[in-house]
């Protein structure tokens, strides 16, 4: 039994690494927070970074460059974009001009909820469109986030 368990763990690890290698060719490196991100527009939103997936495919988790790791995070909304500051993992930057949608959702790779308790940002990174899921400690701030980011999207929030 122990050998079967160890073999299963090894297989999962090999699969994860293979997936990360193949995605590293398709998904460019995630942008870093600029030195001057602009004025802070919303209060910090602490919570849980759930995952980033390919847009529209909530189970296709992006695992390359450490993006597959779920953990505590803080979202910060600046005039230039959104900072995703992850504890114990690389943070990243979503520029305003990359955001194509923002919505509440109930499912993204690694988390399925009964209600719309996830904030999902849809954005472009190179030629790839991504969904980044965040579960805030206070769901009451989601409306502020969707309204604020909706002004950056042509035609309003999606």
Q: Specify the CATH number for the domain of residue 58.
A: 2.30.29.30
Domain that includes residue 130, residue range: 1-158
The pLDDT confidence band at residue 56, using thresholds 50, 70 and 90, is confident
Q: What is d(CA 93, CA 33) in angstroms, rounded to the nearest whole number?
A: 5
Work out the percent of the chain whose per-residue pLDDT is above 90. Answer: 54
For residue 125, the model assigns a pLDDT of 93
pTM as predicted: 0.82
44 backbone φψ class: left, alpha, beta (φ>0; ψ -120 to 50): beta
Length of the chain (residues): 158
Looking at residue 155, its pLDDT comes to 44
C-alpha 60/C-alpha 108 separation (Å) is: 9
Greatest extent of the chain over all pairs of C-alpha atoms, in Å: 57
Q: How many domains does the chain have?
A: 1
**Average pLDDT score over residue span 123-149:** 92
């Amino acid at each position: 039994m122990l050998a079967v368990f160890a073999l299963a763990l090894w297989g999962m690890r090999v699969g994860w690494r293979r997936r990360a290698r193949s995605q590293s060719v398709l998904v460019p490196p995630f942008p870093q927070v600029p030195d001057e991100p602009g004025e802070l527009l919303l209060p910090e939103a602490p919570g849980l970074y759930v995952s980033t997936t390919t847009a529209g495919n909530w189970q296709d988790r992006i695992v390359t460059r450490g993006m597959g790791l779920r953990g505590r995070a803080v979202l910060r909304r600046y005039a230039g974009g959104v900072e995703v500051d992850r504890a114990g993992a690389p943070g990243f930057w979503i520029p305003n001009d990359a955001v194509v949608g923002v919505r509440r959702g109930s499912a993204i790779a690694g988390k399925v909820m009964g209600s719309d308790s996830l904030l999902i940002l849809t954005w472009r990174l190179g030629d790839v469109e991504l969904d980044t899921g965040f579960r805030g400690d206070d769901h009451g701030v989601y409306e502020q986030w969707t309204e604020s980011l909706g002004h950056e999207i042509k035609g309003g929030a999606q």
